[in-house]
Structure 1
Amino acid sequence: MPGRLAEIGLPPLEVRLPRPEGGRWRAGNGGIPGAWHFAGAEPGPHLMVSAGVHGNEIAGALLLERWLRDRVRPRRGRLTLVFANLAALERFDPADPTASRFVDEDLNRVWAPTLLGGARRSTELDRARALLPLLAQVDVLLDLHSMLWPSDPLFLSGPGAASRALGQAIGTPPLVVADDGHAAGMRMIDHGHFGAEAAALLLEAGPHWQPETLVQMEQAAARLLRHLGMAEEAAALPPDAPLPPGRLARVTRTVTATTSAFAFLRDYRGGEVIPRRNTLIALDGEAEVRTPHDDCLLVMPSPHAMRGHTAVRLARFEG
């Protein structure tokens, strides 16, 4: 497989999902391209489900298309489905599936007020500014993502206890990680709108381009819809079953690569737990990276982290 995968030494990765339809849903129905709004008959919360913040992560876009085709509607409140980075999604090419992550810059690193209110322009900044008035209206955000490197699925929670509690209540995936974001920029779930009242979750549902990732996304989104009392009884959603609350972990250290020579000592999988504190796990140039505590959870390690980007988050379980 050509392109960026070969450049960083990865084996070929199979795209086992169809390319999203795209154009059929581009117009939206409320004045913002790619944004679809549906109101229930009764008052209730405003839930926004966003997909395609990274244009190569197509599973979320496929879920939104399925819900639009199946006419999933809220029983109460308001449901908004957003194809976030339309320009990048439309560039997705199964022959080079990592190349369409963004057009100019990462849409999930531009949500700081200084950037949104500044004069600089890019495809992603313009799109974030267009979505910002909508974001400011929602009570709950579920942002759908997938992963390049091997990792168990998880929720990343936005700021505030409400986000953490919501992820635990959904229960699938069974891990909620509370963190402080990335040094490279602010994510949508980190926006100041989310905190004491509004809740935000970023779902990392599984490997890019795989059917099981789409299944995980739909299970989590359907459970959220039901948890909020918004699901119609006859809605075309997967069946539900009781689940135990998800387990919460809090990031104690975010490891950002400071050199171009960052390297783990062995292959690690996201979700792996290192039993002993002070275990050497990586070298960043000549600097050692060690676990800061016992039972250290590795959150989404990236074996080819670029300088200035997150290489791994280290977390401690709570409770």
Structure 2
Amino acid sequence: MKTLEQIRAALSSYPVEIEFPDISRWRQGNTGVAFVHSFDSQTEGPHVMIMALMHGNEVSGAIAVDHLLRRGLKPLKGRISLGFANVEGYARFDAANADASRYIDEDMNRVWTAARLDGEQQSTELRRARELRPIIDTVDYMLDLHSMHEAAPPLIVSGPLDKGMRLAAEMATPAHVIVDAGHPNGVRMRDYGGFGDPASHKNALLIECGQHFSALSKQVALDAAARFLVTTGVIAEADVADMLSVDTSVPQRFIGVTDPVVAQSYDLEFADDYRGMEIIPTAGTVIAREGEREVVTPYDNCTLVMPSLRHIGAGVTVMRLGREIAAPATAK
């Protein structure tokens, strides 16, 4: 049986094309929570938040939040909060072992339920989530900036609700929108509380900006952060025009996730060098093998969503399968 180290050694490595910002200057904050800053217009309006570093090695979001903090923000209405989540993971980043700082003890983007946050379990990520929770509980619109293991097209994760799909359509970019119910091994911040409640006005998007360390991911993160502030009405477009760089004329594809591909061991292998958003035209096509087990596409024109073996193991989802669905009526 292969080891995880052997698997990672055989995978493509990616150069670090972007500079990691020093976020220590933002430690103090102004909210009572370390690394969280808020800007209040003193005018009625929504509380809008942009979060970076839910995973400690996903630097593009940190670049965008650092950029917004350095330039200063004057909301037209409501309140803007900017935060860095897994700061301990980020502080441990080592380019020679780039995946290791994703988290310290557990995936921070799987702990977002009242049961976990109110429970007695302890971890680095749970402690930080508990610190952030009082701020997040007051947020109306959340943008969670992420990046991906492999070099794949940027995408929005809207969650399964119509309100998430509509907000993704209003953003108009990235071109791929993933409509899904989350992960079986824990709840994402994007789905926490009112964000995941169809009866709540609260809404959230998660954007995967591209491969962790690519210059393109930095560009997408800056664009997405600015566009989110404009879309939610708290910032004038003219104030962030220099950050808007992504073409919004490309029609969005909405992909409904239907099936996870879950490894049973370290021995699962993909049938090709999949990176993400490949469309497999024919149902029954073998896309992965694990010993005698073959994983096949369940329908024609099946889209492969975020395939990666970098964190493979028994019970780990290594890709998801989806099919194109209708865009919401507000889609451009």
TM over 0.5: yes
- Residue 159 of structure 1 deviates from its aligned partner by 4.1
Correspondence for 2:224: 220
After superposition, the Cα gap between the structure-2 partners of 1:236 and 1:296, relative to the gap in structure 1 and judged at 3 Å, is same
Q: Is the counterpart of residue 261 in structure 1 residue 274 in structure 2?
A: no
Could you tell me whether the CA contact under 8 Å between 1:73 and 1:232 is conserved in 2? Answer: no
Question: For each residue in 1:208-260, what CA deviation from the matched residue of structure 2 results, as whole angstroms up to 9, or x when unmatched?
Answer: 11221111111122122111221135524424776465221110111121222
Could you tell me whether the CA contact under 8 Å between 1:49 and 1:142 is conserved in 2? Answer: yes
- 285, 299, 308: which one pairs with 2:291? 285
After superposition, the Cα gap between the structure-2 partners of 1:302 and 1:73, relative to the gap in structure 1 and judged at 3 Å, is same
Could you tell me whether the CA contact under 8 Å between 1:73 and 1:235 is conserved in 2? Answer: no
Q: Is the counterpart of residue 246 in structure 1 residue 252 in structure 2?
A: yes
How far apart, CA to CA, are the structure 2 residues paired with 1:302 and 1:169? 29
Correspondence for 2:166: 165
The range that moved more, 232-241 or 176-185, is 232-241
Matches for 1:95-174 after TM superposition, within 5 Å:
95-174=96-175
Taking structure 2 as the reference length, the TM-score comes to 0.89
Query: Identical aligned pairs, as a percentage?
Result: 41
Correspondence for 1:80: 81
Correspondence for 1:17: 18
Taking structure 1 as the reference length, the TM-score comes to 0.93
How far apart, CA to CA, are the structure 2 residues paired with 1:76 and 1:246? 29
The AA in structure 1 aligned to 2:58 is: E
Q: Is the counterpart of residue 235 in structure 1 residue 270 in structure 2?
A: no
Q: What RMSD, in angstroms, separates the aligned Cα atoms of the two structures?
A: 2.0
- 309, 315, 321: which one pairs with 1:308? 315
Correspondence for 2:211: 207
Correspondence for 1:318: 325
How far apart, CA to CA, are the structure 1 residues paired with 2:150 and 2:30? 36
Could you tell me whether the CA contact under 8 Å between 1:183 and 1:309 is conserved in 2? Answer: no
- Residue 284 of structure 1 deviates from its aligned partner by 3.1
Q: Is the counterpart of residue 89 in structure 1 residue 74 in structure 2?
A: no
Q: Is the counterpart of residue 296 in structure 1 residue 302 in structure 2?
A: yes
Could you tell me whether the CA contact under 8 Å between 1:170 and 1:245 is conserved in 2? Answer: no
What SS is found at the alignment partner of 1:126? helix
How far apart, CA to CA, are the structure 2 residues paired with 1:189 and 1:164? 13
After superposition, the Cα gap between the structure-2 partners of 1:183 and 1:198, relative to the gap in structure 1 and judged at 3 Å, is same
- Residue 154 of structure 1 deviates from its aligned partner by 0.4
What SS is found at the alignment partner of 2:78? strand
Question: For each residue in 1:28-70, what CA deviation from the matched residue of structure 2 results, as whole angstroms up to 9, or x when unmatched?
Answer: 1110001111112432221111001111111111111111111
Question: For each residue in 1:156-203, what CA deviation from the matched residue of structure 2 results, as whole angstroms up to 9, or x when unmatched?
Answer: 113421111111221111111111212222111121321322111110
Structure 1 residue ranges, 4+ long, deviating more than 3 angstroms after superposition: 3-8, 239-245
The range that moved more, 221-230 or 197-206, is 221-230
Unmatched tracts of structure 2, length 5 or more: 327-332
Correspondence for 1:53: 54
Unmatched tracts of structure 1, length 5 or more: none
Could you tell me whether the CA contact under 8 Å between 2:254 and 2:324 is conserved in 1? Answer: yes
The AA in structure 1 aligned to 2:314 is: R
- Residue 86 of structure 1 deviates from its aligned partner by 1.2
Q: Which has the higher helix share?
A: 2
How far apart, CA to CA, are the structure 1 residues paired with 2:97 and 2:69? 27
Question: For each residue in 1:242-284, what CA deviation from the matched residue of structure 2 results, as whole angstroms up to 9, or x when unmatched?
Answer: 6465221110111121222111111112011011112111123
How far apart, CA to CA, are the structure 1 residues paired with 2:234 and 2:6? 41
How far apart, CA to CA, are the structure 1 residues paired with 2:287 and 2:8? 24
What SS is found at the alignment partner of 1:17? coil
After superposition, the Cα gap between the structure-2 partners of 1:98 and 1:191, relative to the gap in structure 1 and judged at 3 Å, is same
Q: How many residue pairs get matched?
A: 317
